Structure 1
């Protein structure tokens, strides 16, 4: 795992080669603090990352979830109990007040990088 600090505010983790992330499939990424993120590339090429831990079961399975769409909102359904989460916000669309952390993702050259900390978390 390569970790690069590009600014004092953001540390990026080299997740995988861009061509290794299949569309509509997830990949688990181990972050420097030991947490996991679930990384997705959709059919339109957009990239999303949410926490990999299913908040209802505690299992590290969100990267194995079913990617879909609910009313134009890109989603992932947990493979365990099938709750659906927004890939944009991490909010559970089936249970209020439950959410997955979200991570900023970018494609740089031939690599995909993910922020080492969840969105909104101060380092």
Structure 2
């Protein structure tokens, strides 16, 4: 895994994102940052993949698979985001497993890991690499 540094508009928070996605992938514009409410997620179709993109209260962005392997549903973008022990997570709206947004690891089942994707804020626009 490698670390990708987000680029941000002046004054915006910058957070490193760990990615297990193919780093040779294509960057795609997804939406304007203002289209994602703080502390919520949205789903975007990027290169044929459903990707859940989360905007934290400080404008830090995370991108993970939208597919919840425990329920089999594409619902993680609708999960509740928060933190467990300082680690940002999303809770699945179906069976409530928590997935770490930085790594994609399921807190309750460390053997389950989602793909994470590099995500950047460029001049007020959200971009994802898939």
The equivalent residue for 2:75 is 61
Among residues 81, 97, 100, which one is paired with 2:95 in the alignment? 81
Among residues 22, 36, 57, which one is paired with 1:43 in the alignment? 57
> Taking CA–CA contacts closer than 8 Å with sequence separation of 6 or more, which of the two structures ends up with the larger relative contact order?
2
More strand by share: 2
Residues 1:14 and 2:29 are matched in the alignment: yes
Among residues 17, 29, 34, which one is paired with 2:44 in the alignment? 29
Q: CA deviation at 1:9?
A: 3.2
The equivalent residue for 1:107 is 121
Question: Is there any run of 5+ residues in structure 2 with no aligned partner, and where?
Answer: 1-22
Give the alignment's TM-score, normalised by structure 2.
0.80
CA RMSD of aligned residues (A): 1.3
The equivalent residue for 1:92 is 106
Question: Is there any run of 5+ residues in structure 1 with no aligned partner, and where?
Answer: 1-7, 117-123
Cα deviations across residues 49-97 of structure 1 (Å, max 9, x unaligned)? 1100001111000000000100000000000000001000000001120
Equivalent pairs counted in the alignment come to 108
Give the 4+ runs in structure 1 shifted more than 3 A: none
Give the alignment's TM-score, normalised by structure 1.
0.84
